[in-house]
Structure 1
Amino acid sequence: MRTRHARHGAAVAALSLALCAPAHLPAHAAGPAGPAPRDPLGGTAAEAAGAALAAQRAAATAAAGGSGGLDFRGCPDAERLPAPVRCATLRVPLDYARPDGPQISLTVSRVPATRARGADRQGALVHNPGGPGASGMQFPLVAGLAGWERIAAAYDLVGYAPRGVGRSAPLSCQDPAARTKGPTPEPADPSPADKRQRVEAARAYAHGCARRAGAALPYYTTLNNARDLHVLRAALGEEKLTFLGSSYGTYLGAVYATLHPGRVRRMVLDSAVDPDPRRVWYRNNLDQAPGFERRWYDFRAWVARHHGTYRLGATPAAVQASYERVRDAVARTPAGGAVGTGELRAAYLQAAYYDDVWPDRAAALAAFLRGDPAELTAQAAPDPAVAAAAENATAVYTAVLCNDASWPADFATWDRDNTELARTAPFETWANAFLNLPCAYWPVRERQRPVAVGAQPERLPRTLVVAAERDGATPYPGALELQRRLGAGSSLVTETGSGSHGVVGGRNDCVDRHVERYLLTGSTPGWRVRCAPHPEPAPVSLDDRAAGARRALLPPVV
């Protein structure tokens, strides 16, 4: 399930390595030596005990140090985080079954509450932006964005890079340069030969993960991410966790709440993953195909309504025909020598995630069909400057999902299920299947069992789930299932008629009022409430875009 993280609404627009196994890691083969006694909520009893011990030690250090147990200083240049953001590192066990064994370092960022003292200060708000594979290090920058003033006054805003991400024990599965060699041919209807080629590529990718990560590979899991979060909470000096999770971060938050219900203070879970263990993760990925198809239709319908601006067609079908003309053209001659059918599909998948890219994507199609490929090349060509970060994100995404659960090991199952889906949802079905196919050949002997979210013996405090009704990446039924599992104290805020992935943070005033009120007071709006959709983006003509580019050359007004 690629719950992409390059963007997260207006509020976190500031957000979003060839590596051998580190020398301090044990040399034993990947995977535990044999079955161990299991904790009924997930993982083994030894891992649960190790997580408790690591958190106790972090809390003791925090109490003794008086500064949260984390030594926050100016951020390294590599993080590109200006003052007042400060950074620290958190040591956690690689393997929680061995809390005194090899340790890894996670990077953490923080901006202190602007109301630093007094009764109105409420502690730390920790954010996970999803992926898995996304870094939350830039989250504290939202303190300077409109609409966050009251939250930033009450809370320290804390971001972090989960294990494997960025500088947090970084994971790699292939040479990052391989991602920018393009163009990548990607047939809309793969032939048997195409499928055989992708199977071999998936095997090679999985083996690359094992070769580069070595003995560390089995330890990139949601359960370990939740244990790391437990230690981070303690190191911050917080008795209970206040958490904002987006996309995959909602699943992480739900797993944490199941494992540590007594340590939850408040949780906002935005764009919810379906936590049903039967759907983690193979079926969740199948569920994305019709969701993305709906959002691809929404984009085409919007373009059709603005036919006078873009001249791409007055109906969704006509816009699809324009897109296919572009796809056929780049299949013959890649745009700018770099954008083939794979790059084109990836760029337009972003339109199924975020409606704020609709004007740019429509303008690029229009310009290409007028004979100018520059816009399309600029938007869709791989960027060598971010190749290492993109490779790292994909590696972590793959490792976590493959380690978290069992996947079908025979390609015949994948072929049957995705062939059926592609008949009605062709836009993203096969690309998503091939992205996840390394899990069929994953070289870890024992996978995790998905946590039974909601099975905790204690009742949770009030939680807030937020979802867009037409979200393709995390389809709306997942929000209903998550709320059901979180229990009677949970509330669901739905943005109706909209489908942008990531609702919280400056896009919808109705949603944000409920989120702010909950974070500041703990009050939820009721079992289920509905908010009208945020306004659709305005079309931008090619002439307007040219004028905007000229204006961008002027010095900023300060």
Structure 2
Amino acid sequence: MRSAALYGALGSLVLTALTAAPAPAHGPGEAWPPGGRAEARGVELAARQAAARGIRFGACPASEQLPAPVQCGIVSVPLDYARPGGKHIGITVSRARSLGTRSQHQGALLYNPGGPGGSGMFFPLLTAVKQWQSTARAYDFVGYAPRGVARSAPLSCADPASFTKAPSPAEEHPTAAFKRQRIAEARAYAQGCARRAGQDLPYYNSLNNARDLDVLRAALGEKKLNYMGASYGTYFGALYATLFPGHARRMVFDSVVDPTRSKIWYDSNLTQSAAFERRWGDWRRWVAKHDAVYHLGRTPQQVAAAYERARQRLTRRAAGGKVGPGELHAAFLQVGYSDSHWARSADALSAYLRGDDRALRTLATPDPAAARASENSNAVYTAVECNDAAWPRSWSVWDRDNTRLARRAPFETWQNAWMNLPCAFWTAHQQRALDVGAAPRALPPTLLLAAERDAATPYEGAVELHRRLPGSSLVTERGAGTHGIAYGPNACVNRHVERYLLTGQVPGRHAYCGPRQEPAATTGAKTAPGLAG
């Protein structure tokens, strides 16, 4: 599932009452414990060892850019939990101690921003942010880089310089020749993953990300896990709840991935592409409403035509030699993730069409200094999603499904397909996705957060996970589409999250919050970072 984490780790439907019985934690004939007996024993052993060792925290390496009082450490986890005595890898961890008194302290709160491929090492810095400070008085803020990410046994599938080479093409309705080129690139990328990672490649997957969480919990000296996951972080957080329901204390799932086994991950990406078209329409309507500021058109159709003029112009001549149609699309995809990007993107497009490309170059030019991190993030994304479940092997299936979808959702469909196409040529073992769910009263109350018009994780996914986790509560931000809503500008959402983390109270089965205020139409706007990946 394409994720904002791939464009920056700091990037933050009408609800229907469902009365169906929760899905079972395991399907008929499926091995129990879920995920395998050998792996379950391996996690138990690794957690005992981690609890005995603890974490030796100290000053963070300069590369992390995490100043004191944030401290860093490393937790050793098995590469393969079925062989806990075999190869181990190191997971990097960051921590800021709680700001409150001893009597206020409730343990550690682990955070994951999503991805796959996002790092949460920055999380302890949020103790200094006003919205988080009541929570920071109760919890140590603990971030970490999941396996494969950054310094945590980093994965790579290609040379970073060639991976981020610009300008790059993009076609909403690709020609046969363009498709052949992208098929060859996807096959080569999958081969690069297999060659560079070797026999380790199959062990970078969501089940192991969930198992790693339990070892981290033990290493921190916590009997129960307090966890906050956004976007993809909700999926392996839900896997954790399935695998270790008795180890959960407080769990917040922000912008929820649909955990339905049949949707992981091929169908999820098709659903996501359709949702991005709707969100792209939200931005175009907003720009049209502010035509007096941006002069891009008085209707959404006219705004779309303005964007198309820019795309065609960049096809003929890249801005600054680096911003072509691919870079334009990657930059403007961000308006689907957060409305904090709306004004800046409209301003850059308007200026470019008037002959000034400076704002567009600032917005869309790839940063050479981030090439290695970008390639690593994409490698982890690809490995996890390709390993998690079986993908169609026949190009005709991909071509049929995406051609059909692109007729009504052209903005993101093919770019999303190209990103995931290496999975069609994957040589590592692909596992069967786990059936997520918990038995009644097996879990403490959990809190789910979702925006009705979220494109990256469409709202139906939150409804589905809510159904599968008995006793959970779903907080809906009506009429909004920003991806990652906890501790943002919506005070209603924040009250529910803070009350839950501090007291364990959930707001009944469903709660609703009004939409956040639309962004102001400004020029020279700067984008505020969010949290979800």
1:480 aligned residue (452, 459, 463): 463
In the alignment, the residues of structure 2 paired with residue 355 and residue 398 of structure 1 have an alpha-carbon distance, to the nearest angstrom, of 27
Structure 2 residue 73 is the aligned partner of structure 1 residue 88: yes
Deviations 1:477-498 (A, max 9, x none): 00000100011x1000000101
AA aligned opposite 2:505: S
Unmatched runs of 5 consecutive residues or more in structure 1:
17-36, 62-68, 550-558
Q: For residues 368-447 of structure 1, what are the structure 2 equivalents within 5 Å?
A: 368-444=352-428, 446-447=429-430
User: Aligned match of 1:198 in 154, 167, 182?
Assistant: 182
The alpha-carbon deviation at position 5 of structure 1 amounts to 2.2
Q: Is the 8 A contact 2:112 2:120 kept in 1?
A: yes
CA distance in 1, matches of 2:348, 2:33: 49
**Counterpart-to-counterpart distance in 1, 2:165 and 2:230:** 31
Give the letter aligned to residue 241 of structure 1.
Answer: L
Which residue of structure 2 lines up, in the alignment, with residue 506 of structure 1? 488
- Per the alignment, residue 450 of structure 1 pairs with 433
Cα offset, 1:336, TM superposition: 1.0
The equivalent residue for 1:109 is 94
Q: Which of 285, 298, 310 matches 1:301?
A: 285
- Helix, strand or coil: the match of 1:271? strand
Distance 1:38-1:214 versus aligned 2 partners, 3 A rule: farther
The match for 1:520 among 502, 506, 514 is 502
- 8 Å contact 2:455–2:481 — kept in the other structure? yes
CA deviation string 1:169-206 (max 9, x = no partner): 00000000013321111122111111111111110000
Residue 131 of structure 2 aligns to a residue whose secondary structure is coil
| Aligned 1:346-357 pairs, distance under 5 A | 346-357=330-341
TM-score, normalised relative to structure 1: 0.89
Name the structure 1 match of 2:222. Answer: 238
1:364 to 335, 348, 359: 348
Residue 58 of structure 2 corresponds to residue 73 of structure 1 = yes
Matched letter for residue 326 of structure 2: G
Q: Distance in 2 between matches of 1:3 and 1:369?
A: 29
Provide Cα deviations, 1:359-390, integer angstroms capped at 9, x if missing partner: 11000011011101111111111110101001
Q: Determine whether 1:220 maps to 2:212.
A: no
1:263-302 aligned within 5 A: 263-302=247-286
Residue deviations 1:114-167 (CA, integer Å, cap 9, x gap)? 12512x210000001110100000001110001111100000000000000000
Residue aligning to 2:312 = 328
Within the alignment, does 1:53 sit opposite 2:45 as a pair?
yes
The amino acid of 1:467's aligned partner reads A
Q: Counterpart of 2:102 in 1: which secondary structure?
A: coil
8 Å CA contact 1:241–1:264 kept in 2: the answer is yes
- 2:5 alignment partner in structure 1: 5
Q: CA deviation at 1:262?
A: 0.2
Give the aligned residue type for 1:52: E
Contact 1:41 1:455 in 2 (8 A): no
1:177 to 1:440, Cα distance in 2 relative to 1, 3 A: same
Query: Which structure 1 residue ranges, 4+ long, deviate > 4 Å from structure 2?
Result: 455-458
Could you tell me whether the CA contact under 8 Å between 1:261 and 1:458 is conserved in 2? no
SS at match of 2:408: coil
Contact 1:247/1:270 (CA < 8 Å) preserved in 2?
yes
Distance 1:331 1:132 in 2: 31
Q: Tell whether the 8 Å contact from 1:50 to 1:98 is kept in structure 2 after alignment.
A: yes
Contact 2:210-2:236 within 8 A present in 1 as well: yes
The 2-side partners of 1:38 and 1:160 are apart by 32
Would the aligned equivalents of 1:244 and 1:269 in 2 still touch at CA under 8 Å? yes
Q: 1:417 to 1:399 in 2, by over 3 A?
A: same
Q: Distance in 1 between matches of 2:441 and 2:434?
A: 16
Q: Deviations over 1:399-430 (max 9, x none)?
A: 00000000001011011111110010000000
Corresponding residue for 2:22? none
CA distance in 2, matches of 1:432, 1:40: 35
Query: Once the 2 structures are TM-superposed, how far is the Cα of residue 455 of structure 1 from its aligned partner?
Result: 4.7
For structure 2, the residue ranges without an aligned partner over 5 or more in a row are 13-28, 528-533
Query: How many residues were matched structurally?
Result: 511
Sequence identity percentage:
59
Matched, 1:541 2:523: yes
Write out aligned runs for 1:153-168 (5 A). 153-168=137-152
Partner of 1:33: none
- What residue in structure 1 maps to residue 35 of structure 2? 43
- In 2: Cα distance, 1:479 partner to 1:368 partner: 39
Per chain length, whose mean CA-contact separation is higher, i.e. which structure has more relative contact order (CA < 8 Å, sep 6+)? 2
1:420–1:6: structure 2 CA closer, same or farther, 3 Å change rule?
closer
2:445 aligned residue (462, 472, 494): 462
**CA distance in structure 2 between the partners assigned to 1:260 and 1:329 by the alignment:** 54
Q: Shift in Å at residue 263 of structure 1? A: 0.3
Q: 2:228 & 2:438 partners in 1: Cα distance?
A: 21
Measure the CA separation in 2 of the matches of 1:457 and 1:358.
Answer: 42
Alpha-carbon distance in structure 2 between the residues aligned to 1:96 and 1:116: 38
8 A contact 1:41–1:451 mirrored in 2:
no
* Match of residue 511 from structure 2: 529
**Partner letter of residue 283 of structure 2?**
F
Q: CA deviation at 1:510?
A: 0.4
1:463-489 alpha-carbon deviations (Å, 9 max, x no partner): 0000000000000000000100011x1
- Tell me the residue number matched to 2:16: none
Q: Is the 8 A contact 1:42 1:449 kept in 2?
A: no
Using the size of structure 2 for normalisation, the TM-score is: 0.93
Distance 2:258 2:251 in 1: 16
Does the CA contact (< 8 Å) of 1:179 and 1:382 recur in 2? no
1: distance between equivalents of 2:171 and 2:206? 33
Judged with a 3 Å threshold, the aligned counterparts in structure 2 of structure 1 residues 38 and 102 are, in CA distance, closer, same or farther, namely farther
C-alpha contact 2:50 2:76 (8 A) present in aligned 1: no
**Partner secondary structure for residue 167 of structure 1:** coil
